[in-house]
Structure 1
Amino acid sequence: MTPQLDYATIRQIFDRFHAADPEPQGELEHVNAYTLVVAVALSAQATDKGVNKATRGLFAVADTPEKMLALGLEGVTEHIRTIGLFRNKARNVIRLSQILVDQYGGQVPNSRAALQSLPGVGRKTANVVLNMWWGYPAQAVDTHVFRVGNRTGIAPGRDVDAVERRIEDHIPVDYQNHAHHWLILHGRYTCVARKPKCAECLIVDLCGFADKTV
């Protein structure tokens, strides 16, 4: 684990991220809060690209909880068959849709606790929805964020909760809204798991990683 970077260095890092991509966007396709919840829940142990391929057809016919319930378990299963753990995920989609209809009038709640009460929705999914749909500075820590946070020293921590707290505590508040998107994209395309592309990295001189591949 790389030691925690100081505030001035972290600000420089996010100044560069902002300069390179002022408005980073999540890569999961969605049309409303409901389809965002479903897409993020489906993305567990799957790639965004794979989820998008499956949900284009699904969301074309079911973009509300009511339409998803009308499609039914078999219909949902058929649409997402190419995604890992598709049978369990299809059941969760139907169950969360029923809860949204029964308890929330078909609307997606905007509290973390309420979101996390939905089947297949954990803290990471809830934070993605709070951030991407309502603009709340919630930090979703996936494998990319966890790796980049620890490898660079931006937000080192032994588990995802610790990394989330470090991001909240150490990244400047004016960069909190987009922080996890910058970190995800950096981990997905530059600071990759096996052979980080340090020679192409815009923060290579600021990163605390000792084993740079330069």
Structure 2
Amino acid sequence: MDPTVIVDNAPAYLAGFRMTLQLTLVAGAGALVIGLVVAAMRVAPLGSLRRAAAVYTELLRNMPLTLIFFFTVIVLPQFGPVVPIGYWAAVLCLTAYTSAFVAEAVRSGINSVGVGQAEAARAIGLTFSQTLTSVVLPQAVRSVIPPLINVVIALTKNTSVAAGFAVVELVATGRRLAQSNPADVVMILVGVAICYLVITIPAGQLAGVLERRVAFAR
């Protein structure tokens, strides 16, 4: 095992790292937007909205991410919509899958706010959307941010599934390097692991700090 193989292939690692980080940021932003909408539907006064959101979250949360990729890339085109294999297919699948976990995290935060807060808002004439955005969500932020960071950490690791669908991120980079350097497979995988840790460890530390601050604030 030659540790210099990591340094020698630094440009390849950097390219894979950038793709993994880009998938995490783009899919994470999309998942946050969709997750907020789905979470609002979960607590909406209309039963049809609550049921639709519940089906969405339960279906995606309990389905393997690899199966979602296969369905999007292989099955869905047979019914009309064609999603090109590669980057945008990965973004779509990761966004949809992660949004279900974001929605559950936000819904838990909403439920942590006292019922009296919403009742008081309605008593002064605020609508459901006004109550949610102006009263409930601002109070729920403290308890929502730490689990959302954990969702982002999971998303970072989930980007590895894209390696099987023509996206050259960290895992795909490691696989290519291993094929061209069979004698240094272990060190190549160590390099891949280090790249993931560069993202996940700071995020995990940030989650810990926020959790302590939330606990202190309470």
The question of a shared fold, defined as TM-score above 0.5 by the shorter chain, is answered with no
> So what's the TM-score if we normalise by structure 2?
0.30
Structure with greater Cα Rg:
2
Q: As a proportion of its length, which structure holds more helix?
A: 2
> So what's the TM-score if we normalise by structure 1?
0.31
- Greater RCO (CA < 8 Å, at least 6 residues apart): 2
